[in-house]
Amino acid sequence: MDPVLPILRELPEELHGARVCVRPYRPGDGPALWEAVEESREHLLPWLPWGDKHKSPEDSEAFVRKARAQWLLREDLPYGIWERETDRFLGGTGLHRIDWETPSFEIGYWLRRCAVGHGYMTDAVQLLCTLAFETLAANRVFIRCAARNVRSAAIPRRLGFVHEATLRNDRRNTAGELYDMLVFGMTPDDYANAPFRR
């Protein structure tokens, strides 16, 4: 059987969890993204240097339109996270560094400062794991984060990912300091036994 071309793969337009709706960015989402980045620059920049690319609402609108195009082409699968109750934009996530042949996906994520600590990201990452393993037949899903980013590292640990490696002196932060990177992985067997599926 021939593999399905990535661009022909059907994907749901929205994923719904207990607290969040995870969906691809749409034209017009730029102002909401801009507001979240503006609120969170000091919170985000030590870990995510792309925050400096959002210098205006127009920059954020250009970002969401490019992200939508990548999603439609299945080159990258970026998603926004929205609070179900209020429809407030909370942050971003997605399936990145896609290897369609394996298939393998990296989950990346960030939250605006005021949304941290409420379980939103755990909910969102569960949804992406389900999408990756049940819709896209993933053989591997992984998450990387800075070793010092304790909140970020707690999510894969909580969801049943396996700590596979610590890459020492792997990156530099925005201040130019070297830091270690943690790598967490999940396979179909791990997913079948994940705590959130019991």
Q: Does the CA dihedral 145-151-157-161 come out positive or negative?
A: negative
Distance separating alpha carbons of residues 161 and 155, to the nearest angstrom: 9
Token pair of 76 as six digits:
């990258």
Confidence at residue 11, expressed as pLDDT on a 0 to 100 scale? 97
Q: 3-state SS of the chain: helix, strand, coil percent to 5?
A: 40, 30, 30
48: pLDDT strictly greater than 80: no
Among 80, 103, 101, smallest CA distance to 92 is for: 80
Say if residues 180 and 149 touch (Cβ distance below 8 Å): no
CA angle, 44 then 49 then 52, to 5°: 90
Confidence at residue 1, expressed as pLDDT on a 0 to 100 scale? 43
pLDDT averaged over every residue in the chain: 94
* CATH tag for 11-143 (out of 3.40.1350.10, 3.40.630.30, 3.20.20.70, 3.30.230.10): 3.40.630.30
In the structure, what pLDDT confidence band is assigned to residue 50 with cuts at 50, 70 and 90?
A: confident
Confidence at residue 142, expressed as pLDDT on a 0 to 100 scale? 98
Residue 138 Rama label (left phi>0; alpha psi -120 to 50; beta): beta
45: pLDDT strictly greater than 50: yes
Distance separating alpha carbons of residues 102 and 105, to the nearest angstrom: 9
Task: Please state, as a whole number, how many other Cβ atoms lie within 10 Å of the Cβ of residue 165.
Answer: 14
State the average pLDDT over residues 37-54.
82
- Containing 189, the helix (H) or strand (E) segment is helix 188-192
Edge-to-edge strand ranges of the sheet holding 140-146: 15-16, 20-23, 77-83, 89-99, 104-111, 140-146, 178-186, 162-172
Distance separating alpha carbons of residues 147 and 46, to the nearest angstrom: 12
Identity at 106, one-letter amino acid code: E
